[in-house]
Chain A
Amino acid sequence: MEEKEFSFGMSEEQRTIKETVARLVKDVVSDNAHDMDEKKAIPPEFIQKVWELGAAVSVIPEEFGGYGMEYSPIMNTIILEELAYGDMALAIAASLPAMFLYPILEAGTDEQKKKYIAPYCDASFKPCTVAVNEPRFKFDPVSLETRAEKKGAAYVINGKKCFVPMANNSAHMLVAAQDDGTHDLFIVSQDNPGVKIGEREKNIGLYALESYPVIFENCEVPVSDRLGGEQGCDYGKFLQKTRTALSAIGTGVSRASYEYAREYAKERVQFGEPIASRQAVAFMIAEMAYEVDAMRLMTWKAASALEAGKDAKRESYLAKLYAGEMTMKITDYGVQILGGHGFIRDHPVERYYRNGRGIAILEGMATV
């Protein structure tokens, strides 16, 4: 492969897509994010509008129902940042099909690709989901407690998952489980009798995103539904992509908080001048500005490695670690700069603060 130029600059295509998503976010999401949060629901037509951008389907080969365009992790981080800038709940919801389809596209057997990809390459959004997180202390995606035991022609899955977005409406989910020391992903149908979807969860943030606990009780999955079949999949690579994606989402939420607080600080007058004229506030804003950029650059760095087909274990790990820490710091600053007003739900910074908590904690909620 020919060596690419080292560059921080967006191509025409990257800029165009970024602007298109940004426009959609501005038109559809921005003014409604508060309502969505209060009503604890995302209107399906919003998700449909994002789906119509075609980002996920575009990279799926024509033989499986897509448009066969070039797959680009960097482009995906750009899209995710813009969506999360509008609303993190919508960003996760709208990217769920990619979360399900990309791993199958990359690691699935021909049979799996034929069977599972095409039905989702539809003009209308169909939810499908991924179950990675587990409701327990010391949860670790590389040492899962959900087990998959091979018994004859099936794997038997046992364990508890939480924070499975849109699980009640998803016909299929990818389930991460440990199989004798190795980690694997399994394609599981919602109607499998071993799948029990619990009551909708109540969480600190992402009110608009429906999420559920899912319990697997002797859930039998045919061997042919283990992602990658006999070979299994590269679970490490799966994590690299989801970690990079979460970093992009963290960047988006942080940027939203930063920009809102910055504009507020210019308008808010106390002691006869804008509060931004005081260094104590101005320096917080400066810090927010460069940390948002740093987060984005680290996300791009991990995505660059992925795009070059290289191992991005270290880059994606550091990007997510950084995004987790910094999103909390920046969204905290966002509330702090608004003071008492930041605590009131009329301003979005309180929502960013609650939503931002998820970046460090969650795993496997989006992919590039």
Chain B
Amino acid sequence: MINLEMTEKMIQVKNGINGMAKGMLRPISRYYDENEHMYPKELDMFRSLKIMSRPKKKKEGEEKKSDKPAGKKLGSNLAMVIMIEEMCWGDLGLLLSMPNAGLGNAAILAVATDEQFERFGGKWASMAITEPGAGSDSGSITATARLEGDEWVLNGEKIFVTCAERCDMAVVWATVDKKAGKAGIKSFIVERDRPGFKLEKLEHKLGIRSNDTGTYVLDDCRIPKENILGSPEVKQTSEGFKGVMKTFDNTRPLVASMALGVSRAALDFTKEKIEERGIKLDYEKNPNNVSSLEKEFYLMEANHEAMRLLTWRAAWMMDNGEFNNLEASMAKAKSGRYGTLIAQKCCDLLGPLGLSCENLAEKWMRDVKITDIFEGTGQIQHLIVARNVLGFSSKQLK
């Protein structure tokens, strides 16, 4: 039965994480923005938190636990989007810098064998997909991996790698057979200290500066044969690649909730300033009979609510085992774009306060922009949504 009233448990999770974001992330937010790439040592205490852990191994015959929450238990995906919104209300760059919780870790968590998980589970893994010539079109990557005896030999260049310097290892995507197209693309775990593996440079960015985004160069980099994630076999179909892309259905609502968090930080701050000037938002008068500032604010709040509901729906569907490819992209399409617009408009309403580095509003406007870009730009999300609702293939709608 439809019910969109938050449960006690949801409120608890939200308030708990918000308290932490306020107490731990906000105070260091500006410092690590100004000291780009410096490792936020305060986050070390999260290293022992096993965020990307696997449930204890079940004895034989025991049934695998499903994601579906039993009764009124809070589903893990819904809990996650609530937590991420609150963390990003604190600081998005710092959330991305949480030790041992990189996108690479998510990939390992999803597909590693038990042996691999034993070896790599406790380490910090970045994700290296993007190349200078392959952004959204990740099927066209050119990095190569060839098997020589008991080793894979990797060559290529990977850019825009999140946590490139801080991580212990990278999940590198490379093709084992260029002729096979997407079917030939595999992912490999490459420890940072492997010969032939080099962190080429760190990027200077618009926002999320506390995070170290970098470039890797792999020059005849050798790794053990067992470091491949998933099967080395090249199948005739691109099912394997599609499977990997499916993991993005799970991460898109997470990115959408990042946009929710940053833009809400901007909204909350703006509201505080509006109220300091004695303006009361009463949610009652005809929106055309209030000041332009108030109407703009109401519209932002309405859009923010829309972003959140689309995001929570996608997460809720996942918790209930429903296929959510369309809804995940809807959430990210809306949230990435409107989160960005909200943070911009808040600076506008704040006037000179929105330009000053004395407060964080200008930083949020810079930080939030990435949410409409990474893990599929807003335009890619629109393509996915449109193909879905039209029933068009990627050939029918390019």
Within 8 A of A (CB), among B317-334: 317, 320, 327, 330, 333-334
**CB closest residue in chain B, given A287:** B382
Stretch of A134-142, A198-206, A214-222, A329-337 that contacts chain B: A134-142
Contacts A285-B386, A286-B333 given; does A140 touch B306 at CB 8 Å = no
A293 to B289, CA, bound (A): 28
A32 to B391, CA, bound (A): 29
In the assembled complex, how far is the CB of residue B241 from the closest CB belonging to chain A, in whole angstroms? 23
**CB closest residue in chain B, given A4:** B3
| Of B8, B78, B287, B333, the contact of A3 (CB 8 Å cutoff) | B8
Other than A8-B317, A236-B284, give 8 A-B pairs with Cβ distance below 8 A.
A6-B7, A279-B383, A286-B381, A291-B306, A295-B306, A298-B305, A301-B309, A322-B302
B4 touches A304 (CB 8 A): yes
Most buried by A among B1, B72, B389: B1
In the assembled complex, how far is the CB of residue B336 from the closest CB belonging to chain A, in whole angstroms? 12
Within 8 A of B (CB), among A304-334: 304-305, 307-308, 310, 313-315, 317-319, 321-322, 325
| Of B71, B306, B397, the contact of A276 (CB 8 Å cutoff) | B397
A143 touches B285 (CB 8 A): yes
Could you list 9 A-B pairs, sorted by A, with CB under 8 Å? A140-B289, A279-B383, A282-B392, A286-B333, A297-B310, A317-B284, A318-B298, A318-B302, A322-B303
**CB closest residue in chain A, given B301:** A318
Contacts A301-B309, A322-B306 given; does A286 touch B385 at CB 8 Å = yes
Contacts A4-B3, A5-B71, A262-B390 given; does A290 touch B385 at CB 8 Å = yes
Residue numbers in A under 8 Å from B10 (CB-CB): 6
Stretch of A9-17, A20-28, A93-101, A112-120 that contacts chain B: A9-17
Within 8 A of B (CB), among A250-300: 262, 265-266, 274, 276-277, 279, 282-283, 285-287, 289-291, 293-295, 297-298, 300
A340 to B389, CA, bound (A): 24
| Of A6, A283, A290, A291, the contact of B4 (CB 8 Å cutoff) | A6
A283 to B306, CA, bound (A): 19
Residue numbers in B under 8 Å from A325 (CB-CB): 299, 302
A243 to B103, CA, bound (A): 43
Residue numbers in A under 8 Å from B396 (CB-CB): 274, 277
Determine if A7 is an interface residue (Cβ-Cβ < 8 Å): yes
**CB closest residue in chain A, given B290:** A140
Binary interface encoding of chain B residues 352-379 relative to chain A, with 1 for a CB under 8 A from any of its CBs, else 0: 0000000000000000000000000001
A283 to B7, CA, bound (A): 35
A307 to B307, CA, bound (A): 22
Binding site for B on A (CB under 8 A): 3-11, 13-14, 74, 138-143, 236, 239, 262, 265-266, 274, 276-277, 279, 282-283, 285-287, 289-291, 293-295, 297-298, 300-301, 304-305, 307-308, 310, 313-315, 317-319, 321-322, 325
A10 touches B2 (CB 8 A): yes
B4 touches A294 (CB 8 A): no
In the assembled complex, how far is the CB of residue B294 from the closest CB belonging to chain A, in whole angstroms? 11
Contacts A6-B4, A276-B392 given; does A298 touch B302 at CB 8 Å = yes
* A-B pairs, 9 with minimum CB distance: A297-B309, A294-B306, A286-B385, A11-B1, A282-B386, A290-B330, A322-B302, A317-B283, A286-B386
Within 8 A of A (CB), among B1-24: 1-8, 10
| Of A140, A307, A319, the contact of B286 (CB 8 Å cutoff) | A140
| Of B7, B286, B334, B397, the contact of A294 (CB 8 Å cutoff) | B334
B309 touches A294 (CB 8 A): yes
**Which range holds the interface residue count of chain B?**
35 or more
Residue numbers in A under 8 Å from B397 (CB-CB): 276-277, 279, 282
Most buried by B among A289, A294, A321: A294
A315 to B305, CA, bound (A): 9
Contacts A289-B385, A298-B309 given; does A5 touch B3 at CB 8 Å = yes
A18 to B396, CA, bound (A): 33
Determine if B288 is an interface residue (Cβ-Cβ < 8 Å): yes
In the assembled complex, how far is the CB of residue B320 from the closest CB belonging to chain A, in whole angstroms? 7
B313 touches A6 (CB 8 A): no
| Of B7, B288, B305, B398, the contact of A322 (CB 8 Å cutoff) | B305
A178 to B327, CA, bound (A): 45
Contacts A289-B330, A321-B302 given; does A305 touch B392 at CB 8 Å = no
Residue numbers in B under 8 Å from A274 (CB-CB): 396
Residue numbers in A under 8 Å from B1 (CB-CB): 4-5, 7, 9-11, 13-14, 74
| Of A6, A10, A13, the contact of B78 (CB 8 Å cutoff) | A6
In the assembled complex, how far is the CB of residue A49 from the closest CB belonging to chain B, in whole angstroms? 26
**CB closest residue in chain B, given A11:** B1
In the assembled complex, how far is the CB of residue B361 from the closest CB belonging to chain A, in whole angstroms? 22
Residue numbers in A under 8 Å from B317 (CB-CB): 8
In the assembled complex, how far is the CB of residue A299 from the closest CB belonging to chain B, in whole angstroms? 10
**CB closest residue in chain B, given A295:** B306
**CB closest residue in chain B, given A13:** B1
A274 to B393, CA, bound (A): 13
In the assembled complex, how far is the CB of residue B305 from the closest CB belonging to chain A, in whole angstroms? 6
Determine if B197 is an interface residue (Cβ-Cβ < 8 Å): no
Residue numbers in B under 8 Å from A301 (CB-CB): 4, 305, 309
A11 to B3, CA, bound (A): 10
A295 to B298, CA, bound (A): 15
Residue numbers in A under 8 Å from B5 (CB-CB): 4, 6, 304-305, 308, 310
Within 8 A of A (CB), among B88-127: none
Within 8 A of A (CB), among B171-193: none
Residue numbers in B under 8 Å from A265 (CB-CB): 390
Residue numbers in B under 8 Å from A7 (CB-CB): 1-3, 316
Residue numbers in A under 8 Å from B333 (CB-CB): 286-287, 290
A353 to B252, CA, bound (A): 33
A313 touches B284 (CB 8 A): yes
In the assembled complex, how far is the CB of residue A287 from the closest CB belonging to chain B, in whole angstroms? 7
A27 to B263, CA, bound (A): 45
Residue numbers in B under 8 Å from A140 (CB-CB): 285-286, 289
**CB closest residue in chain A, given B333:** A290
